Chain A
């Protein structure tokens, strides 16, 4: 609206042209001409005092408000009016009068400084009109596009809302199904459990007898190894000392890596030394942990490295960008689930492996047919239940995603909805910048190198009268001795949806310019589009 008004006044001013110069003191706008009456005392505009008219513009500041010197630099707080015929009139601080710098396009501010100024008002006016016209066209087209966006967004929203309602209905049915299957599963598992326990108990008893025999043999061997310094002496003289026991760190009780003297003494029932006869009482304390030196070390430490390798990968995928998962879940849900199960399957064997290796030689005999049948039945019930539960979870996720999307503030008319789950890139000489609205912004070196997070969606942060002009993305990758990276996205009206520039005005604080029809304002003027009139 303002633009058009401006144009009109400009045309008006141009048509009146320069010949009609209304007499008034230098630097006074037309609107204030009435206060400056030649040959009559001038009253400062703040009313503070009256002075003879010849002290107006006499290059000495008499009025506190600077109103007696509209055309000189004498007052610190004065302002000078340039008419700028052909362009737009403006006020400049009076400190810019005759300072050797051309400020007014009509050159009127430099009347006594020797500065060579050219009148550029016509040229400026022409350029401005061109720009305004172009802007008006863009705004008009952009606004039309925006209407489509709003329509589509509303439609989409409606669809999503009804989809959620539908899904919530389906979910209820699923809930019930899951409950039914849970009961079926639990019913099948009870007989299974009993049968398995019976089988196990029989086998345990059989095993205990065999183990007793082996244990005796092992104790004898252990005693000989522990008394390593006394090799070759008669068995009667053989004894085990505290220090010898200490050399076996695996016996360490508090798992701090060393077997202290006290700990060793504890294992030996407080004695400094034991002989074969008393060793029998020590043996139960140490046998579970004792490693015979003739046996190879158990591969126990192996279980940690795979975890160490895995963890960072998992963390990298999810933690820094928690929002990602949600948006991508729909596509990758199955994969995620698979990964999860794989982990489950993999982890236990590495822990169980050593035990198994012990007991391989004495493996449990297979289940009898009755037990196996019970197991199979229970397994089927379990599978059915899990499948139903998974379906329920998936549905929950879907509902949550849609609800989340619906909860975003996509603007007063949902005109920003179309940006959701889209990404826009800008390639500069060094980097590829990627803006995924309502999600995150990243920067990736053009020629290899890892991606840097410049911030995840924070909030709309434009001025109060239109907060939808700026987006704030926060909590990106941290900076050395500085804040976490963040980005402000400045939205301007355009026909296309594109990132037009990026900069880093302050370290780790980025500025991105982004055009979208969604911020195009209604071209309120009727003057530029006379067709509208006709239609009316």
Chain B
């Protein structure tokens, strides 16, 4: 939920009553943010910075060099690293800062592995470094200072080529110390006020900025979270994209305003190369994009990107690709990959603010069975806790939480309860008392415990940047600490931007203190830490056995390691349904694959048509959860008449049937960092027509989805990429082969296509929860390419523990079809796992009728398989091979 209204908060209520959409005046524009305004006033031109080549120091893998600003003589220290996997790290800090500047911890999974850097040439104004393979060079120009990364004759990327490097050095306040600098004070440098809030800025100005030029690039993506197009827009005439985790009430579409999370990673793509820029800074950040091709024709395209942050230092990772998959691998090597969720987390989630009481939970649970709709998780929002004291239960509505959880467990289902980071200031509340006595709260600028208003009223905010605090927090999820909790209860962290109803921009004051650091320095990291500590807690409570599942609203680079994110408080509007696609695609590009939007829309009441369409979209997005605001009418799937119930049931069942594919993709992303939900250009990087597509996407590389997101639509026009690739339209019932690029009309079904050349494993026996389907058999859907071949994978494990990782207990099979022979081969010979699942059926499209089909088992035995051939659609169905899913086998068509 957003900071909407609550009867406890008359002040907020007033504010909300007038707000139909976002109240923009609550949030800063660049002009209202002093550092952004000052930085943006600086226009491209000659950089005042000069590299002092005689200060060069080069160790094996690290090069340092001083830079001097000729205007004020302040020196900076430049560090350059060549990193394993075709990356370059550029760090710039003050040579002698007045006090240390914040360097973001806990985001990189380890110290990146460096590779040897060598100087290959040098003259009085430049230095050429070898970046290894493929004649890649890094050229350092001394005056004006700039960096160019080149490959052969081609410039891949330039830094400070527009002279926008700007580093506000720390300085003493004029009135307090003898200050030698000549810089004049600008308004907002030592204090700034927004609305009624004053930021005391005790450290004065500290912002940083750097520009990057990308010759040959017209398409850049990433830097979520924004409710905007997949392809980033030129920001010349507007505000820059803003990265500052905020609780935005009723957010607007198509603008660069900041939202709940921030991942400062930008991906560029052209037919030549895919690259990435990771700007590792957790302070308020603005990103300007300008393109020389906007409105022009026949120029050599170039995109310029400028990053501006309020504090910290410049620490940039340049990922040089060259292919999309390489950039994902490179970024994953820095910040880690998506956590591998328990299978049930990939199934359907039923949420509402709020399920009123245990009886309500029971009734809804029964409703799903009565209407034969599967679901795995039911969710409880803030009302479940006793007076919004998280880790407790409302005594009158949830007096017997274990009884409720046991009831769900008997149905092999689970529950998520919300635990937000704002802690009710209440001397009768154990959690508060402990945090206070352990001195774990964030402090205000005067050193007292920081307090702000949130759902419970006056609240404290634990300092999640403190590892001791996080360890304590994690310990609170132990079954003997969190009373009423059980192993089928998981956690949801909301409001962790953090949301402070009466704070500046509905968040924490920047001069609040986390130990020695200001909130200003750590702001965008706070949400990541909350989710990390919570996920750690869930792992701990199970003795390290069970995989956790934690949903978060705020996030940062690296958040993928801790669970799922959702796109926050959207609305029941067609535009919001549509924007869920680019929003989740953008997150997937920067590592966060487990993304979803509230199905149905959080605010407002969806029409039956919108709700059905949203289920059809949500079923094909990674995190699939319906959610609704407390003031909206009930909208469980069976409340919109039997026809709509049937359509929703069908959408959810498709999700369940495809769970083996989703699961395998999540295993894959956990291993490799390749996104689950992908823009088309990721798989078709040479097809320019795909570069701006955001109304259709791929799941993995084998399923193409073009959901219906328009009211009253009777069809969609799907772009089918790939030359001569066969695409199979897929529903649970029928398949149809189509050539590439075809107008396609469909009324009530979900336009999903299987790529020619792929094999997808499904479990077509849909049951009431994913756990009930654990041992069910698989059906293989084989869609051969135009050459008659296809391949796919099958991954199986216990679906919920870390055994796959710590004990290699899993099955990973490679399935391949060519020359009329389909076989299953072990991809991980050193793994072991026994499964009860077997192969129930094999469906092969687009072939001809065989005269016989033979199954060859690993032990050499052979048997004939019965088959059916549907000539209209050329579908061959092999009856009951019956082999175990973990076994080696071959099927030959003759």
The chain B residue with its CB closest to the CB of A95 is B767
Complex: A507 Cα to B383 Cα, angstroms? 13
Contact A507 B631, CB 8 Å, known A99-B412, A100-B771? yes
Selected interface stretch from A239-247, A319-327, A479-487:
A479-487
B360 to A96, Cβ gap below 8 A?
Answer: no
**CB contact between A96 and one of B632, B633, B767, B879 (< 8 Å): that residue:** B767
Please name all residues of chain B whose beta carbon is closer than 8 Å to the beta carbon of A508 when the two chains form the complex: 631
**CB contact between A482 and one of B396, B631, B765, B771 (< 8 Å): that residue:** B631
**CB contact between A73 and one of B631, B632, B776 (< 8 Å): that residue:** B776
A312 interface contact, C-beta 8 A: no
Contact A60 B765, CB 8 Å, known A93-B372, A101-B411? no
Complex: A505 Cα to B634 Cα, angstroms? 7
A100 to B765, Cβ gap below 8 A?
Answer: no
How far is the CB of A48 from the nearest CB of chain B, in Å?
Answer: 13
A99 to B633, Cβ gap below 8 A?
Answer: no
B776 to A60, Cβ gap below 8 A?
Answer: no
B5 interface contact, C-beta 8 A: yes
How far is the CB of B38 from the nearest CB of chain A, in Å?
Answer: 40
**CB contact between A60 and one of B410, B632, B767, B840 (< 8 Å): that residue:** B840
B633 to A483, Cβ gap below 8 A?
Answer: yes
**CB contact between A101 and one of B632, B765, B772, B880 (< 8 Å): that residue:** B772
Complex: A507 Cα to B630 Cα, angstroms? 6
Q: Tally chain A residues at the interface, Cβ within 8 Å.
A: 24
Q: Mark A227-238, 1 if CB is under 8 A from B, else 0.
A: 000000000000
B633 to A504, Cβ gap below 8 A?
Answer: no
Q: Mark A461-493, 1 if CB is under 8 A from B, else 0.
A: 000000000000000000111110000000000
A76 interface contact, C-beta 8 A: yes
Please name all residues of chain A whose beta carbon is closer than 8 Å to the beta carbon of B767 when the two chains form the complex: 73, 95-96, 99
Q: Tally chain B residues at the interface, Cβ within 8 Å.
A: 27
The chain B residue with its CB closest to the CB of A503 is B356
Complex: A369 Cα to B630 Cα, angstroms? 77
B825 interface contact, C-beta 8 A: no
Complex: A205 Cα to B772 Cα, angstroms? 106
The chain A residue with its CB closest to the CB of B360 is A505
CB-CB contacts below 8 Å: A415-458 with B:
429
Instruction: Tell me the dominant secondary structure on chain A's binding face.
Output: loop
Please name all residues of chain B whose beta carbon is closer than 8 Å to the beta carbon of A100 when the two chains form the complex: 412, 771-772
Complex: A26 Cα to B880 Cα, angstroms? 20
Q: Mark B808-841, 1 if CB is under 8 A from A, else 0.
A: 0000000000000000000000000000000011
Complex: A198 Cα to B766 Cα, angstroms? 101
Contact A74 B631, CB 8 Å, known A99-B772, A101-B412, A480-B5? no
A506 interface contact, C-beta 8 A: yes
Please name all residues of chain B whose beta carbon is closer than 8 Å to the beta carbon of A504 when the two chains form the complex: 356
B516 interface contact, C-beta 8 A: no
Please name all residues of chain B whose beta carbon is closer than 8 Å to the beta carbon of A482 when the two chains form the complex: 631-632
B768 to A99, Cβ gap below 8 A?
Answer: yes
Complex: A429 Cα to B396 Cα, angstroms? 9
Please name all residues of chain B whose beta carbon is closer than 8 Å to the beta carbon of A480 when the two chains form the complex: 5, 17, 631
How far is the CB of A266 from the nearest CB of chain B, in Å?
Answer: 43
A509 interface contact, C-beta 8 A: yes
Please name all residues of chain A whose beta carbon is closer than 8 Å to the beta carbon of B17 when the two chains form the complex: 480
Q: Mark B632-662, 1 if CB is under 8 A from A, else 0.
A: 1110000000000000000000000000000
A505 to B356, Cβ gap below 8 A?
Answer: yes
Please name all residues of chain A whose beta carbon is closer than 8 Å to the beta carbon of B412 when the two chains form the complex: 99-101
Please name all residues of chain A whose beta carbon is closer than 8 Å to the beta carbon of B764 when the two chains form the complex: 76
Complex: A101 Cα to B630 Cα, angstroms? 32
Complex: A504 Cα to B359 Cα, angstroms? 12
Complex: A480 Cα to B633 Cα, angstroms? 13
Interface centre among A58, A96, A101 (most CB of B within 10 A): A101
A60 to B879, Cβ gap below 8 A?
Answer: yes
Complex: A503 Cα to B359 Cα, angstroms? 11
A96 to B768, Cβ gap below 8 A?
Answer: yes
A481 to B631, Cβ gap below 8 A?
Answer: yes
A73 to B411, Cβ gap below 8 A?
Answer: no
Please name all residues of chain B whose beta carbon is closer than 8 Å to the beta carbon of A479 when the two chains form the complex: 631
How far is the CB of A461 from the nearest CB of chain B, in Å?
Answer: 16
Complex: A471 Cα to B396 Cα, angstroms? 28
Complex: A76 Cα to B356 Cα, angstroms? 33
A95 to B880, Cβ gap below 8 A?
Answer: no
Please name all residues of chain A whose beta carbon is closer than 8 Å to the beta carbon of B396 when the two chains form the complex: 429
The chain B residue with its CB closest to the CB of A509 is B633
CB-CB contacts below 8 Å: A71-88 with B:
73-74, 76
Complex: A93 Cα to B373 Cα, angstroms? 11
Please name all residues of chain A whose beta carbon is closer than 8 Å to the beta carbon of B356 when the two chains form the complex: 503-505
How far is the CB of A104 from the nearest CB of chain B, in Å?
Answer: 14
Complex: A429 Cα to B841 Cα, angstroms? 58
How far is the CB of A102 from the nearest CB of chain B, in Å?
Answer: 8
CB-CB contacts below 8 Å: B754-810 with A:
764-768, 771-773, 776
The chain A residue with its CB closest to the CB of B395 is A429
Complex: A503 Cα to B396 Cα, angstroms? 13
**CB contact between B765 and one of A76, A506, A509 (< 8 Å): that residue:** A76
A60 to B880, Cβ gap below 8 A?
Answer: yes
A95 to B771, Cβ gap below 8 A?
Answer: no
Please name all residues of chain A whose beta carbon is closer than 8 Å to the beta carbon of B840 when the two chains form the complex: 60, 74
How far is the CB of A534 from the nearest CB of chain B, in Å?
Answer: 44
Q: Mark B1-44, 1 if CB is under 8 A from A, else 0.
A: 00001000000000001000000000000000000000000000
How far is the CB of A43 from the nearest CB of chain B, in Å?
Answer: 18
B633 to A74, Cβ gap below 8 A?
Answer: no
Complex: A482 Cα to B634 Cα, angstroms? 12
How far is the CB of B287 from the nearest CB of chain A, in Å?
Answer: 34
Please name all residues of chain B whose beta carbon is closer than 8 Å to the beta carbon of A506 when the two chains form the complex: 632-634
Please name all residues of chain B whose beta carbon is closer than 8 Å to the beta carbon of A73 when the two chains form the complex: 765, 767, 776
Complex: A76 Cα to B767 Cα, angstroms? 9
Interface centre among A95, A480, A482 (most CB of B within 10 A): A95
Please name all residues of chain A whose beta carbon is closer than 8 Å to the beta carbon of B634 when the two chains form the complex: 505-506, 509
Complex: A481 Cα to B360 Cα, angstroms? 23
Contact A507 B632, CB 8 Å, known A76-B766, A101-B411? yes
How far is the CB of A103 from the nearest CB of chain B, in Å?
Answer: 9
How far is the CB of A487 from the nearest CB of chain B, in Å?
Answer: 14
Complex: A406 Cα to B411 Cα, angstroms? 53
Please name all residues of chain A whose beta carbon is closer than 8 Å to the beta carbon of B372 when the two chains form the complex: 93, 95
Please name all residues of chain A whose beta carbon is closer than 8 Å to the beta carbon of B879 when the two chains form the complex: 60
How far is the CB of B758 from the nearest CB of chain A, in Å?
Answer: 23
The chain B residue with its CB closest to the CB of A429 is B396
**CB contact between A95 and one of B411, B630, B631, B768 (< 8 Å): that residue:** B768
Complex: A507 Cα to B634 Cα, angstroms? 8
Complex: A96 Cα to B765 Cα, angstroms? 10
Please name all residues of chain A whose beta carbon is closer than 8 Å to the beta carbon of B766 when the two chains form the complex: 76, 95
CB-CB contacts below 8 Å: B840-871 with A:
840-841
CB-CB contacts below 8 Å: B257-313 with A:
none
Complex: A506 Cα to B841 Cα, angstroms? 44
Please name all residues of chain A whose beta carbon is closer than 8 Å to the beta carbon of B765 when the two chains form the complex: 73-74, 76, 95
Complex: A74 Cα to B841 Cα, angstroms? 11
Please name all residues of chain A whose beta carbon is closer than 8 Å to the beta carbon of B773 when the two chains form the complex: 99
Complex: A58 Cα to B838 Cα, angstroms? 14
Q: Mark A207-234, 1 if CB is under 8 A from B, else 0.
A: 0000000000000000000000000000
Complex: A60 Cα to B840 Cα, angstroms? 7
Instruction: Show 24 residue pairs from A and B whose CB-CB distance is below 8 angstroms, ordered by the A residue.
Output: A58-B880, A60-B880, A73-B765, A93-B372, A95-B765, A95-B766, A101-B410, A101-B411, A101-B768, A101-B772, A479-B631, A480-B17, A480-B631, A482-B632, A483-B633, A505-B356, A505-B360, A506-B632, A506-B633, A506-B634, A507-B630, A507-B631, A507-B632, A507-B633
B interface residues with partner A (beta carbon < 8 Å):
5, 17, 356, 360, 372, 396, 410-412, 630-634, 764-768, 771-773, 776, 840-841, 879-880
4 A-B pairs closest in CB distance: A99-B772, A506-B634, A482-B631, A60-B880
Given A76-B765, A95-B772, A505-B634, output 11 extra A-B contacts at Cβ < 8 Å: A58-B880, A93-B372, A95-B766, A99-B773, A101-B412, A101-B768, A480-B17, A480-B631, A505-B356, A506-B632, A509-B633
